[in-house]
Amino acid sequence: MQIHQSAIWVSVLVGGLLFAGCASDDAAYLEKFNPVRPVEVAPNRDVEDLERRIQAMAHFAAGVSFELRGEQAKAQEEFYEAAMADASNESVVVEVARRLIRQKDSDRAISLLIQATGHPKATANLYALLGVAYAQAGKQELAILASDAALKKNPRLPQAYQNLVQIYLQNERLPEALKVLDRAVQQKGGDAGFLTSLADLYLSITRLHATELERLHPRILALLMEARRLNSDNPAVLQRMGETFRSLGEFAQAAEMYARVQALFPMNPQVRERLTELYLQSGNRKKAAEQLEALLRESPANAQANYLMGLISADDKQFARAAEFMGKALLIDPEMETAYHELASVQLALDKPQEALATLEKARARFRSNFILEFYSSLVQARLKDHAKALRHLTAAETYARATEPQRLTPQFYFQLGATLERNKNFAEAEKYFLLALKQSPDFVDVLNYLGYMWVERGERLTEAKAMIEKAVKAEPTNAAFLDSMAWTFFKLGKPREALDWQLRALQHLKEPDATLHDHLADIYSVLKQPGKAREHWRKSLAIEPNAEIQKKLDALPR
């Protein structure tokens, strides 16, 4: 109830209104923000009632004066006296009672509201507010009675239902809380605001009793869908609907509600940011990008918007564009730690490992080491073929994860660590981590193939290795790497003709040049006494990637 008028106005308030009765701008201001209704002296008006209302106006005027001078305690006292003097003036009573409740002065709030609810025209809102005051004072049974009285006057009053639900939940009386809401749902003619309030109250129950979520989720969603059908144009209601849909994980519906809010407030950046987030959560990258592009037109230096555009571009495989947005984000906000990691990932996708390494070194100089930094560093070093450094970074990442983030020790992480150990020729440790990955995810085909191939290459556990690779091929029958492993298994088993069929299929499904596949095919042709074809494929292998061992095999072929 902040009043922003000159002090001169306060000095003439009582005299001007009571004796002159003028319709000045100040009087209009007072009428708008307060109050006390203008006094009209009627021949039959009870003198005592008139005096009481005059006292109310005088107290209110004094409250305004004190508030203008910044004396809030004195102002509050005068406003309280104004409300007590004319408790039939509901707008003043409600405002003063809410202030008292915010200040935890529940006793005086109760006194005021008891007096106000004694008026024959007292509304349900006053009884509901009395319930709030009683609950704050710890008088819960009286709070229940007051809230029930409010519902008798208005069966669709959200505050009264909220009072009852909160009281029952605080006293671990879940069945009664649910009965209250079940009764509320039966009320006919509720608007979108009422239905959304009920959905929010059901949701509040699930936050305290998580086991109820599965049962109540359909009920909450049904209330929200009915509220949605009513096509409210109230932005506060639409926003609440959006947030409740979001809490249920219904991101597309939440985005629809925020889109309606945006139609009412198209220039509101907070609404745009939330809508962007919801589009991303619902997987609608196109709509999210539209919001971000609009946001960047209005605010090009928005680091978060640039970062999110980078993520969207990366998801769309537009890696150069993603790198540009990520770079801008870091120029604007060098403290955006995750942007360093994402930029490095994009630079790897662009086959620029040295740039990725430089990006991560900047992050290392600015932030404390952590799992993500070490993990990305290992990926960069692996791309640079420095497998020893890659292993050091992965080992550090594992240490961080075990200490603080064990959820990061996923099958994918164990696979990466196993593969790095294998490249460092630490086969026993590699096997251990591959088996850990398979323990968590028995159908992880990349691990099945990699471990199976490692055993085949070393001539170990060939029967088990063959079964693993067959399982991988069955899952992905056109995967060139898996087909190559199958061919190499037959080759190691001394069956080069069967190996040839599998190897030719592998090359048929090859999407990018691969030196190893041509090397294997050349080995098979060599054993089959076809030196011309062996020579052809060893040369193809060397053209893709120089290799001294392959060169030796090529040189050893008969001329």
The secondary structure of 14-78, three-state, reads HHHHHHHCCCCHHHHHHHHHCCCCCCCCCCCCCHHHHHHHHHHHHHHHHHHHHHHCCCHHHHHHH
What confidence score (pLDDT) does residue 67 get? Answer: 72
Give the pLDDT confidence of 200-242 residue by residue, as tens digits: 999 999 999 999 999 999 999 999 999 999 999 999 999 999 9
- Answer yes or no: are the C-beta atoms of 516 and 484 closer than 8 Å: yes
126: pLDDT strictly greater than 80: yes
Compute CA 557 distance to the chain's CA centroid, rounded to the nearest angstrom: 62
- For residue 456, give Cα distances in angstroms to 150, 478, 500, 514: 78, 21, 16, 19
H/E run at residue 121: none
Contacts of 554 (CB under 8 A, 6+ apart): 535, 538, 539, 542
Cβ–Cβ < 8 Å for 86, 52: yes
Q: Which of 18-22, 415-419, 523-527 has the lowest mean pLDDT?
A: 18-22
Per-residue pLDDT band for 114 (boundaries 50, 70, 90) equals: very high
Query: What pLDDT score was predicted for residue 86?
Result: 79
Task: Report the alpha-carbon distance of residue 212 to residue 262 in Å, rounded.
Answer: 33
pLDDT over 90 at 45, yes or no = no
Q: What is the pLDDT of residue 50?
A: 65
Convert 384-428 into a string of H (helix), E (strand) and C (coil): CCCHHHHHHHHHHHHHHHHHHCHHHCCHHHHHHHHHHHHHCCCHH
| Chain segment 128-167, per-residue pLDDT in tens | 999 999 999 999 999 999 999 999 999 999 999 999 999 9
Return the structure tokens found at 438. Answer: 């398979």
Question: Is CATH 3.30.43.10 the right assignment for the domain spanning 189-294?
Answer: no
Q: Is the pLDDT of residue 9 over 60?
A: no
| Two structure tokens written together for 492 | 């190691």
Q: pLDDT (tens digit, 9 = 90+) per residue, 241-271? A: 999 999 999 999 999 999 999 999 998 989 9
First-to-last CA distance in the chain?
101
CA separation for the pair 435, 418 (Å, rounded): 9
Residues contacting residue 42 through CB under 8 Å, at least 6 positions apart: none
User: CA-CA distance, 437 to 448, in Å (whole number)?
Assistant: 10
Mean pLDDT across the stretch 512-535?
95
Handedness of CA 158, 159, 164, 169 (dihedral sign): positive
- The pLDDT > 90 percentage for the chain reads 79
Asked whether residue 291 carries a pLDDT value surpassing 80, the answer given is: yes
Identify the pLDDT of residue 89.
85
- 378 versus 57: the higher-pLDDT residue is 378
Q: Is the pLDDT of residue 22 over 60?
A: no
Sorted by sequence, the CB contacts under 8 Å of residue 130 that are 6+ apart come out as 110, 113, 114, 117, 146
| Residues 389, 380: Cα–Cα separation, whole Å | 10
pLDDT score, position 517: 95
| Whether residue 348 has pLDDT greater than 80 | yes
Tens of pLDDT along 294-311?
999 989 999 999 999 999
pTM over 0.75: no
Annotate 144-162 with DSSP letters as a single string.
HHHHHHHHHH-TT-HHHHH
Of all residues in the chain, the percent with pLDDT exceeding 70 is 90
Residues 97 and 77 sit within 8 Å (Cβ to Cβ): no
Domain locations along the chain: 189-294
Where do we find the tokens 């009481």?
Answer: 52
Residue with tokens 């006919």: 188
Query: How would residue 66 be classed by pLDDT, with cut points 50, 70 and 90?
Result: confident
Answer whether residue 88 shows pLDDT above 90: no
Return left, alpha or beta for 21; rule: phi > 0 is left, psi -120 to 50 is alpha, else beta: left
Residue 248 carries which DSSP code? T
* pLDDT over 80 (residue 110): yes
Highest mean pLDDT among 41-45, 84-88, 324-328: 324-328
Give the pLDDT of residue 73.
Answer: 83
DSSP SS3 for 105: coil
Sign of CA dihedral 297, 298, 300, 304: negative
With beta carbons less than 8 A apart as the criterion, state whether 127 and 147 touch. Answer: yes
pLDDT of residue 24: 35
For residue 504, the one-letter residue type is L
Q: Which of 463, 484, 464 is nearest to 473 (CA)?
A: 484
- Residue 310 CB partners (closer than 8 Å, separation 6+): 322, 323, 324, 325, 326, 329, 339, 342, 343, 346
CB 534 within 8 A of CB 526: yes
According to the model, what pLDDT value does residue 84 have? Answer: 85
Between 10 and 414, name the one with better pLDDT: 414
What distance in Å separates the CA atoms of residue 108 and residue 184, rounded to the nearest whole number? 30
Tell me what the pLDDT averaged over the chain comes to: 89
Q: Which of 60-64, 279-283, 363-367, 551-555 has the lowest mean pLDDT?
A: 60-64
49 band by pLDDT with thresholds 50, 70 and 90: low
The pLDDT assigned to 81 comes to 81
